Amino acid sequence: MNVWQTTRFRIDLGKPRVMGIVNVTPDSFSDGGAHGSSVAAMAHCERLVAEGADILDIGGESTRPGSKPVPLELELRRVLPVVTQALTLGVPISVDTLKPEVMRAVLDLGADIVNDVWALRLPGAIDAVARHPSCGICLMHMHREPSSMQLLPMTGEVVCEVGAFLAGRIEALQSCGIDAKRVVIDPGIGFGKTVAQNFGLLAGQKEIIREAGRPLLAGWSRKSSLGAVAGIEAPGGRMVPSVVAAVLAVERGASIVRVHDVRDTVAALAVWQALRTQESKEKTT
């Protein structure tokens, strides 16, 4: 349970890992356009690694609420040059995509992880990762699709539904011969859920982990639910609540946090780890 098998790395999840976000897009909800060119995106990759990112997650298509699909050729033009260069940085490289064609292209380059907000439900997606028998996989729960998910969010209690969905997707992969050790799960904070439901998922993380039987990745960074409770409208102003949410997610069992603010999250988790270490020492004395 504490190891994530990826193409080039067996990632030890015995300590929380920080995944740094690299959006090679003009329209991502928080930093769209800031790293839109290959040169700017690569500089951002290097900065995040220097700040302590354990994993980089590169994406060429925004999945913010209301976003429209990006043509395949455009997504490939955005992503492939950055992935090619980022593979030299010595950390696992994840690619955030739902397109099987992009999955195949980046895995053929040597990418370590496919991070799919659609949980490999599109035709050909499972085949794409099955062709690379060691690549890591992140399966996320999304209600509906980006263009409509917040117009008609989920109803009712979500923890059981999300946990059952993710467990079912793992079973689907295993039936195709894909080892569960390659998989982590993401409950999909903000993807078709209300503010209360998102915080319900945080409160119920351990139940979701038990249901799916795999480590959990939490993606709270700069999300609108944080803005709603903190009274901060601009995504770029949500660094402090994002870091708090990352620590709370780890405290409740998350193994990986996907963040924009790597340096601050790494520092906060160092404080959390120091406390945990001291508590462990006191228990043994």
- What is the dotted CATH code of the domain comprising 3-283? 3.20.20.20
Confidence of residue 155 (pLDDT cuts 50, 70, 90): confident
Residue 59's closest CA among 17, 113, 110, 11? Answer: 113
Confidence of residue 81 (pLDDT cuts 50, 70, 90): very high
Query: What is the tens place of the pLDDT at every residue in 14-40?
Result: 999 999 999 998 755 455 455 557 899
DSSP state letters, 28-79: -TTTTTTT-SHHHHHHHHHHHHHTT-SEEEEESS--STTPPPPPHHHHHHHH
Alpha helices in 131-204 (DSSP H): 159-175, 195-203
Tokens of 198: 């998102």
**Dist. CA 181–CA 215, nearest whole Å:** 9
Sequence spans of domains, the chain: 3-283
Global pTM?
A: 0.93
Burial 68-102 (b: 16+ CB within 10 A, else e): eebeeeebbebbbbbbbbbbebebbbbbbbbbbbb
Q: What is the 3-state secondary structure of 107-120?
A: HHHCCCEEEECCCC
**Residues identified as active-site:** 223, 258
**Dist. CA 50–CA 4, nearest whole Å:** 22
At residue 69, the pLDDT reads: 86
At 153, which amino acid appears? P
The three-state secondary structure class of 273 is helix
Detail the DSSP E strand segments found in 86-162: 93-96, 113-116, 136-140
Burial 188-225 (b: 16+ CB within 10 A, else e): bbbbbbbbebbbbbbebbeebbebbebbbbbbbbbbbb
Where is pLDDT greater, at 184 or 153? 184
**Dist. CA 268–CA 275, nearest whole Å:** 11
Q: Are 1 and 104 in contact (CB under 8 A)?
A: no
| 106 phi/psi in degrees, rounded to 5 | -75, -35
**Average pLDDT score, the chain:** 93
Counting every residue written for the chain, the total comes to 285
Query: What is the tens place of the pLDDT at every residue in 204-223?
Result: 999 999 999 999 999 999 99
